[in-house]
Each structure stands twice: as C-alpha cells, then as structure tokens.
Amino acid sequence: MKELIKNSSKLIRIEGVVFSILLVIIFSNQFHFLWLLYDFMALGALVFYLLNNRLVLNITLTVTALYLLFFTFLSGGHIISYFAIWDNIKHLFVLFMMLILVDRHANKKRIQVFLRDLGVILSIVFFLQSIVVILQAYFGFHFDDISGTFGYGASHSLGYFCLMFLTYLILFGRSRAYFLIIFIISLLLNYISENKGFYLLLIALLFFKLAWSYSVKRLPFYIIAFSLLIYIIDSLIGGRLISPIVYAISTLSNNLMTGDISEISVSRGFLMIYAYMKGGWFGLGPGAYSDCYSLSGWLLDNLSDGRLQINISSATSCIIEYGLIGTSIWIGLYLIFLSYFFKNISIKFFVWIFFLLCFFYNKLLVDERIIFMVIFIFTFLKVAYNQRINNITK
C-alpha cells in the first residue's frame, strides 16, 4: 500500500499543483474562508515530504521541531502554540513539493507547454488586476482597499503578484517591450496602492535580472545606472520613494541605540524593538500574540496600546513569541531548505535576500497570499536554472 501511495505521488503533475495555487491566489478576496484549503494542500505536501524526504532536511526539521515542542512545553503547553507552529512551518512542505516536482520533470517537454500557458494566464490576470485597481482608486477607496481582487488590507499581495509576473517575464519572457510595459504598469499600480514594500523587493529583483542576464564584471556599471534611475524616479514623484526608506532606517537606528519604547510608534523599527524588549532572547511562547484558526494568543490583549500591530511582519511576531534565538532558528530552517535546492551561489544569494526582506517587512509566514507568490517566484527560478543547466550539458 505504501509503495502504491509513493508511486501515485510521483504522478502528481506540477501543472496541477501550480494552477491550483494560482486559482486560490486569484480568487482569494478576503481569503479567510480559503485558509483551510491551503492547510489541506499543506497536509498533502507533508505526506509528499514524508514519502520523498531527504536526510539533511530530516535532521534539520527534527532538531527544530524538538526545540519548538520543548519551548511550547515550557511556555505552558497552550493549544494555540501547536497551531501557531504549524502555521509557520507548513509552507516548507509546499515549497519542498514544488521544487522536487520541478527537479523531477525538468527534462520533460510538457513544462515548456505549461510555461507558455501560464504566461497567457498571468497576462490576463495582470490586466484584470490593473482594471480593478484603477477603478478602486477612481472611486476613492482607502489605500488598503486598493489591492485588486485580493481584498481589504492586501495591497502587499498586489505587489507580490506584480513581482511574480515580472519574475516570470525576466526568466521566460521573449519580448523586452512587453516586460517594459508590465514594469511601468506595476510601478503605477503599486504607487496608487501606496505599496512601498513592492519597490524594495523590485530593486532586489532587478539586481538579480542584471546578474542573471549579463556579465557579473559589468555589474558595478549597472548598479550606478540603476541608482541614477532610482534617483530620477524619486525626483519625479516628489521624494516619495527614498524618503520613507530613509525615515524607516533612521527610526530603527534610533530605537536600537536608545532602546526607548515609551513613545508609541507604528513603524516597523519601533515594533521590532518593542518585540525584542518583550520577547528577549527566548520569547514569550509560540502563539502568545497570534490570532489563527479562530484562536487568540493568551497575551494578545495585554499590548500596552491598541495601535501596536505586533504582527506587522513575521520578524516582529517571531521575536516576541520565540525570542532572538527562536527567530534565528526559524530563519535558519527556511534558508537550509532553500539552500538544498539552489546550489548556484548567485541564485542562492538572491533567494536568501528576497526571503529575508519578505520576512522582515511582511507577514511572510502567516499570510498565505504572500507565501503563495514567494513560492511561485522560487519555483520559477528553479525551473529556469534547471533549463539553463540542461542547455549547457547538451
């Protein structure tokens, strides 16, 4: 029976997996009712992992799980602690399944057909999102509502969709003119929705494009040219691109140097320091400030001010619940899994940077909309790299 199940898992097609995830992203809207759908898929991915596991990843996952369970026991063994751990770790199995399937079918022609069809689907969805966003802005929606079909407070999800499509065009697109059109429209859409995080991640993506497409020796020239382009764009939009980043960095530096949390701020810098002051090295317990599966953390109501959005990013959530040590363990776990699949130094470096930026800026591990599209981006990278290697070895 086990052999039958294992053979069946090998028949899973990447097309079906990716398209199912894509449908969830497109039609998520408020998304809450679809969280369980993602969990069912994650459970299936867990079974897939158990049937196709790897020794290095097994050891890493086992050590991490033992630490988290021991830490849960010490913090009181609350039911939400187990759900909170699952909520953070389940994406590993989806990521593992996707990347294993890419390796398994790397040399099959059907991937080319799939990529072609996916490009058409992404194009249609992108222009649909563009129309919805423009209509939302025209009718005076609050900026958190200007998020396409992703629902209230999902402007970041719109940004990740644009990044996903741009990644596809960088790796598989054949028209520079079409890429430029999508690039300009993406800048406009995310400006309308006041999605500053998009531009930060876009910079990382464009640097990757330079490293992927051109000689590394010419990279300093491209960095200077790109910096000049950013300066020109920032000047045209009245300093709204660079100033918020400078302000965030200065706020974080000030909070780090003074350790002052007496003056409440909604900035990520303040919230990160606040999380550290509360969580310290070991944190207050998994799920202490979480809100998942209709369960609320036992300390969630104890925040000193209602304006404190302690779950503004995965970094703040992990620091206050798991402490600096636990947060480092979570980051290390994901980076080890990613490193297993991305051996090329430049791609690995980009994947690490992209993951860390998402982790510290967004709710990467607790917002399925975001992690969906990050998994897509990494999957595209894996497909493109495998194709490049196959072309070299032919």
pLDDT digits (tens, 9 = 90+) for 43-86: 888 998 998 878 888 898 899 999 988 888 888 888 988 988 99
In a domain, 381, yes or no: yes
The interaxial angle of helices 345-361 and 268-279, nearest 10 deg, is 80
In a domain, 284, yes or no: no
In a domain, 301, yes or no: no
Q: Which residue has the higher pLDDT, 207 or 2?
A: 207
In a domain, 256, yes or no: no
Residue corresponding to tokens 């599966």: 293
Q: Which residue has the higher pLDDT, 374 or 367?
A: 374
Q: How confident is the model at residue 356 (pLDDT cuts 50, 70, 90)?
A: very high
In a domain, 342, yes or no: yes
Query: What does the pLDDT read at residue 140?
Result: 77
How many domains, the chain? 1
In a domain, 291, yes or no: no
How high is the mean pLDDT of the chain?
79
- Flag whether pLDDT at 8 surpasses 50: no
Segment 201-224 mean pLDDT: 72
Q: How confident is the model at residue 237 (pLDDT cuts 50, 70, 90)?
A: low
State which residues form the domain around 221.
2-209+217-248+308-393
In a domain, 297, yes or no: no
In a domain, 222, yes or no: yes
